[in-house]
Chains A and B, each alone.
Chain A
Amino acid sequence: KAGVTQTPRYLIKTRGQQVTLSCSPISGHRSVSWYQQTPGQGLQFLFEYFSETQRNKGNFPGRFSGRQFSNSRSEMNVSTLELGDSALYLCASSRDPSRQGNSGNTIYFGEGSWLTVV
C-alpha cells in the first residue's frame, strides 16, 4: 500500500511569489492535514480537510490556504511568500476522523516538501 505522497520534494521560490504543494493520501484515507516544520518551532498545524471541507485550522495568516478534492488529494497554497515561510511542509493522512470525539485516529506523514524562499 503506497504511503502519503507529496510533490514537489524540493523547491526554491522568491519573496512575493506563490507556491502550491500537493499531497496524495494513503488509499482509503479521507482526512488530510498539513503541518509546517521549522527547527525552532517544531510541527505547527496548518489545517485539516475531510470530505473536501476544512474541518480544523491552525494559527496561520490567510496567505496559507488549502483545498481537498473528491479523491481526497489535497493541495496547499502560500501566496506572497516571505523569507520566514522557508520550512518543511508535511502532509499527513488518516482514515476516519469523522468519529468525532473518538480518539486514536492515527496520522501518517508524507516525506514533505522542502520550501526555500530567497
Chain B
Amino acid sequence: GENVEQHPSTLSVQEGDSAVIKCTYSDSASNYFPWYKQELGKRPQLIIDIRSNVGEKKDQRIAVTLNKTAKHFSLHITETQPEDSAVYFCAAENTGNQFYFGTGTSLTVIP
C-alpha cells in the first residue's frame, strides 16, 4: 500500500518568513495530493491540492509543488502570519480512491 512520510514534525518560523513542509509517497500510481490545515480543536480543512498532471499550483501565499519522478511534494507558505499556526497534513490518494496521510507538521509562527 501507499506510505506517506512528512517532514518536519515541528516547525517554528518568524512572522514574515517562509515555511516549507515536505512529503514523500511510495505508490507511483497515486495521483492526487491535498494539503489540510488543522487548527487546535478544529477539523482538518483543505487549503490547497495538486493533481499529478501539474507540477506547481499557487493560491495567494500558499503554493504546492509536485515532483512525480522523485515522488515528493511540498507545501510552501510565504509571508507567514500568526494565524498560519496550525498542524498541516499532506495526503496522497491512490487509484482506489483511498487517502493516506502524513503524520502532520506543527507550524508555529512567532510574532
Give A contacts to B, CB under 8 Å.
4, 31, 33, 35, 41-45, 48, 55-56, 90, 97, 99-101, 103-112
Indicate if B73 sits at the interface (CB-CB under 8 A): no
In contact, B103 and A41 (Cβ under 8 angstroms)? yes
Q: Spot the interface stretch: B41-49, B58-66, B76-84.
A: B41-49
Closest to B4 in A: A42
Can you name the residue of chain A whose Cβ is closest to the Cβ of B92?
A: A103
Q: How large is the interface on B (under 10, 10 to 19, 20 to 34, 35 or more residues)?
A: 20 to 34
Q: How far is the CA of A32 from the CA of B7 in the complex (A)?
A: 28
> From residue B67, how far is it (CB to closest CB) to chain A in Å?
17
Q: Are A112 and B43 in contact (CB under 8 A)?
A: yes
List 15 additional A-B contacts (Cβ < 8 Å) besides A55-B97, A103-B51.
Answer: A31-B97, A35-B101, A43-B89, A43-B91, A45-B99, A45-B100, A48-B97, A56-B96, A56-B97, A56-B98, A101-B95, A103-B30, A103-B32, A107-B99, A111-B42
Are the CB atoms of A42 and B43 closer together than 8 Å?
no
Q: Chain B interface (Cβ within 8 Å of chain A)?
A: 30-32, 34, 36, 42-46, 49, 51-52, 89, 91, 93, 95-104
B44 surroundings in chain A (CB, below 8 A) = 43, 90, 109
The answer to whether A42 touches B103 (Cβ under 8 A) is yes
CB B45 to nearest CB in A, in angstroms, measures 7
Return the contact of B52 from the options A43, A103, A106 (Cβ within 8 A): A103
CA distance A4 to B43 in the complex (A): 10
Q: Which of A45, A56, A103, A109 contacts B31 (CB 8 A)?
A: A103
Pick from A31, A33, A106: contact of B34, CB under 8 Å = A106
CB distance from B6 to the nearest CB of A (A): 8
List 22 contacting pairs A-B, 8 Å CB cutoff, sorted by A: A42-B89, A42-B101, A42-B104, A43-B101, A43-B104, A45-B98, A45-B100, A48-B97, A48-B98, A56-B98, A101-B95, A103-B95, A104-B49, A104-B51, A104-B93, A106-B34, A106-B46, A106-B49, A109-B36, A109-B44, A110-B43, A111-B43
- Give min CB distance, B34 to chain A, whole Å: 7
